[in-house]
Chain A
Amino acid sequence: MSSDETTPDRAAAQGAVKRDTVDAARAFIARLPHCAALNMTVQHLDAGQAELMMPYDTRLIGDPQSGVIHGGAVSALMDTSCGAAVMAHPSAPKSTATLDLRIDYMRPATPGQRLLARAQVFRVTRTVAFVRAVTYDENEASGPVAQATGAFTIERSTGDA
């Protein structure tokens, strides 16, 4: 098994997370203008894992009668958290892009509450990362607001592949 097929759990157990990999992932998120527009912040990064927060904002409302934020904003949060998890993978991809992403909206996000998305890379090959993410509002006991499953491209540095 080549090193770039390491699962996050095994990588963490091996202490394989490099500080510069996590820093690179944080830097990657910091230079995404759309994430800045949505006020997303990285709460936590670990080997193949990312936790991103997006505050409630009335500009993001999708249902004016209830004040529930639009699914599209939740999609953007989940897409970014999945991408961040890929960038934080110990195999240190140079870049990543979404191939596909499926989002299930399980219950309306409570108006006024921040959203927290947790993404985890489940499998990485030389060219593809398989990622899952779950989003919660502040009532975590009420279960997830949404979940996502996606496949992401892996760009390796030249000569790395």
Chain B
Amino acid sequence: MTRLNPEPVQVIKQRRDAGLARLVAAIPYIGFLGVEFIRHGDELTAILPYKESLIGDASVPALHGGATAAFMEIAALVELSWSTGWAAVESGALSQETLPDMPKTIDFTMDYLRPGLPRDAYARARVNRSGRRYASVHVEAWQDNRSRLFAQATGHFLMPENDRDH
């Protein structure tokens, strides 16, 4: 019995990072807000680097609720595309072929727990249910302390048609 040699770690990392970079680069609004992603294995953390244009009320100052909302929706959408497209990431298809259709947001409910401070924010999304047609995703966003969320959100998404036949 022969055992295949595992791929070198840098080959795997390069393929996964290329897939993630392609997914993120395809959406102009992610670049407009400046959202970045850090990947550990298949776990994604979204980062919203602070900039002045994210501020809502300048007299407070605090992050605009709309910027926080957009950040969490991006985190949810990228996590959902990433997790459902993991097979395409691992086969290298995501970094070579045309990008799959993105899921569409049906609804998104945001819960603002404390003001967003004028500094970097982080978010992680969890796909709680992913069916052929619908998915439910929860997002947690924090700044200095992982356990002190400043916002959270739940959204429902319509999965792209081309994924429904699988």
Residues of A near any B CB (own CB < 8 A): 28, 31-38, 58-65, 69-73, 75-80, 83, 95, 97-105, 108
Q: Can you list 29 residue pairs at the A/B interface with Cβ under 8 Å?
A: A31-B57, A33-B52, A33-B64, A59-B32, A60-B29, A61-B28, A70-B73, A71-B105, A72-B29, A72-B70, A72-B73, A73-B29, A75-B66, A76-B67, A76-B69, A76-B70, A80-B64, A97-B65, A101-B65, A101-B112, A102-B108, A102-B110, A103-B107, A103-B108, A103-B109, A103-B110, A105-B104, A105-B105, A105-B106
Would A61 and B27 be within 8 Å (CB), given that A72-B33, A75-B69, A80-B66 are in contact? yes
- When C-beta atoms are compared, the residue in chain A nearest to B151 turns out to be A98
Chain B residues, CB < 8 A from A58? 28
A63 contact from B66, B70, B102, B115, Cβ within 8 A: B102
Q: Are B66 and A77 in contact (CB under 8 A)?
A: yes
> What is the bound-complex CA distance between A37 and B70, given in angstroms?
14
CA distance A28 to B31 in the complex (A): 27
For A63, list chain B residues within 8 Å (CB): 27, 102, 104
- Give the complex CA separation of A146 and B153 in angstroms: 17
Is A33 within 8 A of B101, CB to CB? no
Q: B62 contacts the other chain (Cβ, under 8 Å)?
A: yes
- Indicate if the CB atoms of A79 and B65 lie closer than 8 Å: yes
Q: Choose one: A32, A75, A102; the contact of B57 (CB below 8 Å).
A: A32
What is the CA–CA distance of A105 and B101 in the complex, to the nearest angstrom? 17
Q: CB-CB contacts of B50-89 with A at 8 A, as 1s and 0s?
A: 0011111111101011110111011001000000000000
Contact, CB under 8 Å: B112 / A65: no
| Most chain A beta-carbon contacts within 10 A, residue among B54, B108, B109 | B108
- Extra inter-chain contacts (9) besides given A32-B58, A34-B66, CB under 8 Å: A32-B57, A33-B58, A62-B102, A97-B65, A97-B112, A101-B65, A103-B108, A105-B106, A105-B108
Q: Which of A60, A83, A98, A105 contacts B110 (CB 8 A)?
A: A98
Give the B interface residue count (CB, 8 A): 40
- Return chain A residues, CB-CB under 8 Å to B74: 70, 72
Whether, in the assembled complex, B1 has its beta carbon less than 8 Å from a beta carbon of chain A, the answer is no
